[in-house]
Amino acid sequence: MDTQVRHDSSKRPIGRWSASVEIGRKAILLVKGVIPIDGRNRSFTLKTADARHVDPSILILEVNPAVAVWDGDVEVEVYYSEILDRYDQYTSVLIKGNGRQLAIFDVEKKK
């Protein structure tokens, strides 16, 4: 299930995103996204971005290459996972790409 994407009316999110923490022997954060692109065939990554911000509870990820577009005719899936030090390490995920914020959403905690 996709978590609620937070945005104001001037910042329309691009794509459908979810983030959850799976608990097993370790806590693992799983981020999944489906983004519209311009149709060019490329390989895609979702990786940590420059995290020089004031809130360490927000994970910042960046789509590379910067191909997400609002009116893309093809959708691709992107994934990111990380073993966490603490179950509550992140409360939100911020996705960047194309020089702008694509989406910000909460991390779902599963037990």
Q: What's residue 9's pLDDT? A: 34
Q: What's residue 78's pLDDT? A: 87
Would you say residue 81 has pLDDT above 90?
A: yes
Measured from the Cβ of residue 72, the count of other Cβ atoms closer than 10 Å reads 17
Cα 104 to Cα 106: distance, rounded to the nearest angstrom: 7
The alpha carbon of residue 93 and the mean position of all alpha carbons in its chain are separated, in whole angstroms, by 6
Q: What is the mean pLDDT of residues 87-92?
A: 93
Question: What would the pLDDT profile of 71-80 be if each residue is shown by its tens digit?
Answer: 677 788 889 9
Question: What would the pLDDT profile of 1-53 be if each residue is shown by its tens digit?
Answer: 444 444 433 467 788 999 999 988 899 999 999 888 777 656 677 888 876 76
**Residue 95 three-state SS:** strand
